[in-house]
Structure formats: structure tokens, C-alpha cells
Homo-oligomer: A and B are copies of this chain.
Amino acid sequence: MKTDFEIAHETKLEPIGTIASKVGIPEDALDPYGKHIAKIPYSLIDNERVKRSNLILVTAISPTKAGIGKTTVSVGLALGMHRIGKNAMLALREPSLGPCFGMKGGAAGGGYAQVLPMEKINLHFTGDFHAITSAHNMISALLDNYIYQHQQDGFGMREILWRRVLDVNDRNLRSIVTGLGSRTDGIVSESGFDITPASEIMAILCLATDEEDLHRRIENILLGITLEGKPFTVKDLGVAGAIVALLHDAIHPNFVQTIEHTPALIHGGPFANIAHGCNSIMATKMGLTFGDYCITEAGFGADLGAEKFFDIKCRKAGLSPKLTILVATAQALKMHGGIDVKEISKPNTEGIEKGFANMDKHIENLRKFGQTVVVCLNRFATDTDEELELVRKHCDKLGVGFTINTAFLDGGKGAENLARLVVDTIDKSPSAPLKMLYNDNDSIENKVETIAKTIYGAANVRLRPAAKKQLERIKELGYAHFPVCIAKTQYSFSEDATAYGVPTGFDITIRDFVINAGAEMIVAIAGTIMRMPGLPKSPQAERIEVVNGLIEGLS
């Protein structure tokens, strides 16, 4: 099999204007970034068309460290849909540089199911992440400067709630002290860097409906509490306009093509473990404007990505998916069935059967939102027919649609069955209108408890003292009506990354609550989840090279 890199570079891309014209996007409305990438102004979103189109969510069972290949299924489905004559748009998240150079490599699909140009998408793309990093750190600098410049006027902060961000995996930056040196080198403060996908600015960009809404949300960002006990926001700092200026281009969805020249939107990229995990509302709405179907994705397993997609993104945007695709792999099922991770590429029907529990729990969860679910098994070369038949039979028993995706090997041809199943299911038994898991008016504790018990299957929720203290503040400051975004490991329903399958009787411990007053959500930090990843002993960066003018090693 050829590498992702080889496949990508054997593909002759069409000019991006040609791709746009095919789906009725006027070519002169595009803002090109090179010959194969463009931004589409969000003003082209048509809310009437959004309502008439069909939204499809792609999510997954709890993933292995190698991932489930959710993006490969999403891209494959888009290809398959076009092969059976349907106009489908993809809406995906932008990859983060950190994991590209760390453990994970790129995130633009794989094999014959890629979005292209993969090396641009995986690296700087249209600069959205850099704009977000700049905007975030500009606020940090302006805030520290405000404190420094106004200390003689008696101004001071009792608590600073705003950290810094960089799009890099750098464990050394998690916890830092700034302002050392001499008197003019600032004020000594505890600080730290999160990875850019965890930035509140990222969440705001993904949840904003237009530039005015972006401005309003930026103004509302809570930076800290003054010595007098008052909240201090970006509005108080007086720089919301400057921050919006930094995001003036980043706010528009990016447009690219798949390997089979079908249209794809890629915009925004919060992780689903430490943030809300979906591409921008604007990209999804753009996809629904220009596609009869829009295929979108929520990060990691359905416990994280799908729950946040429904309860945060769909709640804000008024979206309601017609169908949810739950992606599984034989290897992940075996892992959840108790097979050692080193052995999961070997045939093991017993492991598969024991692993169904994880899949079943995700299906049960998705149905709580009123979703019609189909299962798509993303086929690996090592899977046996016998194993796959087992999954098919199990899904039949559950009354859940099932199909196999081989788009990684076969491109769109390998996802035609999936496409037919999707179209057919949406025709015959689309999802009910979306049911939220909780109401805005529920307390934050109740929201966390509902998610933890209903979706994760936890026995209890425990709050650490810092979290309890924050809860008081959330109520006081009037943020209790926000939805909750739980930051938790992606590898398990629980907060123990090694508890595969369906753990029960466990507690969820909320270490802290982070107030995202601009994004209008409360991030609950469960367990030891890190908002700044580290690098492994042999990072992917050691295998990235520019050879004959082409970038290798990003797959």
C-alpha cells in the first residue's frame, strides 16, 4: 500500500474555483490561499437552505491510541455520496500543529480518503490557529500590561483566570512563573500555556454566528477578579475591537477538496477531550447551505464529541442531525473486550463480542438525544470476515443499520454502501428533533451529574475544593445557565484512561471549573486531563522532511 503522502501527491488537484462552481459557490466570492485553498465569506450562509438540508454526524466508539479513522469514514462517505449522485459537503475540524509533530501525525483523513492539500491543511493552512494564538496571547499581554501600568493607581487583580496558548505540545509550558527579572519586567505571576485548540478564543470562533457575535463574545471573556472582587473582562480592558481585528480573516470557513475533487470545509479545531470538539458553526451552516447533505464530525468517542456536539454546538446553532454514524473498528472492539492492545490486530472473535458493550453504551447514549444511529465498521487489512460478520449480526439484533467502510483502500467506491445506507436511513427513519440532555436552567452541578451518570455511567460526581469555590463564583456572576463542557480522557467512559469497555461504579472528580464567559460554556476539568499535551520520546518531528520540495512524514 502506498503512503498517504504518495497517494496525496499522485492526485492532480483541481483549481479551487472549479470545485466551488460545481456546488454553486460563486468563484469570485472566494478569497484564495494558494491555488487549492480558499476562504468563503460567512455572508454566503443561507439559513433557509440550512433548514432544508440534511446534517449527518460522524462519531465513534471509545478510540484506541491509534484512533478509529473517523475522518477517513467522513471523507469516504462524502466520496461515496458523490458516487451515488448526491450533493454532499464535508465540514471538518482543522488539525493542530502540536499533535502533527508529536504522536498523532496529521489529521486530514488517510489512504484514498483524504482532504487535500494535506501538507498545507496539516501545517499552517490559512493561518486560523495562528490568528487565534495571536489573539489569545495579545489579550494576555494587554492584561498583564494593564495591571503593571495601573498598579500605582491602586488597581490590582485578586485572581487572574486567563492563561496563554501555543499550538505546540510543550509540557514545560504547563505551569510557569512570568514577570521575573527586574522591576520593569512586569509583575511576578503564575501562568501557563494551554494548547491552542483549548483556547477560549478557539471555542468562541467555532460558536460565533457572525463578526458582531464574535465581538460581543470577546468582550464578555472573563479575565479575572479585581482586588475589589469585581469581574474584569476584555470589555473592561477596552481591546475587543483589536482582538476582533486579529480574527477578521480567521472567522470565514476554509474550502478545499477531497482526493476525488468533492467539496470540503475545514474550519476551527477545538479538541474534544479538553474542549468542545467540533468545527465551526459557520462551516457546518455553509455546508448545509451548499450541500443537500452536510457530513460533520465530533472528536474522539461519542461520550465526548457527540455529547458536546449536541449539547453545546447544536443547542447554540439550532441544528438537528438527521442521522448519527457511529464508527467502530474491530481492533477497538477487541481492546474494549479485554484483549491486550499489542494483540488486537490478531483475529479474536471472543474479544470482539466482549467489546460490543462499549459500542452498545454509545448507541444507547446517542438514542437519548433522539438520534437514529447506524454503525460503520472502518475495515483494517488484518480484520477477518468472521469478525466483521459478528458485528453485522450484533447490529441487526440491535435494529441498528450496519455497513463496512473501505474508503482508506478503495476511495469513494469503498463507501458507496455506507452512502446508500445513510441516504436510505435518512429517507425512511431520520432522527427525531434533537433532545438536549439537560436544560439551560439546570444548575451546573446537575448538568455535570447528568452527563457523568447518563452518558459516562458514573456512580458519583465529586468536586474538589477549587471546583466548589468556582461554582460559587459561577452562580454569583450569573453564568450558571451556560452548558457544560467536560474535559476528560478520550480513552474511557471514566476518567481512568486504561478502563476500557464499559466501566461502572466509578466516580468522576471535577478538579476545577474554567469559566468561558465568551464562549458561553463552563469547562469542567475531570481527573488529570491536561490542557497542554506533551511530546513522546520519539516525536513525529524526527520523521518529517522536505524531499524534492515536498513535505514528507505528516501522515
Contact = CB atoms under 8 A, between A and B. Distances in A.
Contact of A145 (B33, B242, B539): B539
B149 A172 contact: no
A406 to B, nearest CB: 31
Contacts of A176: 176-180
Interface string A329-357: 00000000000000000000000000000
A1 interface: no
A244 interface: yes
A239 to B, nearest CB: 5
A148 B123 contact: no
Interface in A121-144: 123-124, 127, 130-131, 133-134, 137-138, 140-142, 144
Contacts of A140: 170
A242 B131 CA distance: 22
Interface in A381-437: none
Interface stretch (A184-192, A265-273, A320-328): A184-192
B241 A546 contact: yes
A130 B241 CA distance: 21
Q: Classify the interface of chain A: helix, strand, loop or mixed.
A: mixed
For the complex of A and B, list the 7 residue pairs with the smallest distance between their C-beta atoms, beginning with the closest: A172-B186, A175-B181, A241-B545, A130-B130, A141-B170, A242-B544, A242-B541
B244 A546 contact: yes
Contacts of A138: 97, 101, 168, 541
Interface of A: 31-35, 97, 101, 119-120, 123-124, 127, 130-131, 133-134, 137-138, 140-142, 144-145, 148-150, 166-181, 184-187, 189, 191, 211, 215, 238-239, 241-242, 244-246, 248-249, 534-537, 539-542, 544-546, 549, 551, 553-554
Nearest to A188: B172
13 contacts: A32-B33, A101-B138, A137-B166, A138-B541, A141-B535, A145-B535, A174-B186, A177-B180, A239-B542, A241-B545, A242-B540, A242-B541, A248-B546
Contacts of A170: 137, 140-141, 144-145, 186
Given A180-B177, A546-B215, A141 B172 contact: yes
A283 B172 CA distance: 37
B145 A544 contact: no
A529 to B, nearest CB: 13
A175 B180 contact: yes
A423 B174 CA distance: 57
Contacts of A167: 134
Contacts of A191: 172
A196 to B, nearest CB: 10
A177 B174 contact: no
Nearest to A33: B33
Among A34, A123, A133, A546, max chain B CB count under 10 A is at A546
A182 to B, nearest CB: 8
Contact of A134 (B119, B124, B215): B124
B172 A148 contact: yes
B539 A142 contact: yes
Contact of A97 (B134, B187, B544): B134
Given A241-B545, A242-B101, A541-B138, A534 B171 contact: no
Contacts of A178: 172-173, 175-176
Contact of A175 (B97, B185, B544): B185
Nearest to A246: B123
A544 B138 CA distance: 13
Contacts of A244: 545-546
Contact of A179 (B35, B150, B172, B540): B172
Contacts of A148: 171-172, 534
Contact of A189 (B131, B134, B172, B549): B172
A35 B545 CA distance: 31
Contacts of A238: 542
Given A172-B178, A245-B551, A130 B141 contact: no
A144 B170 CA distance: 8
A535 B174 contact: no
Contacts of A541: 138, 142, 239, 242
A152 to B, nearest CB: 10
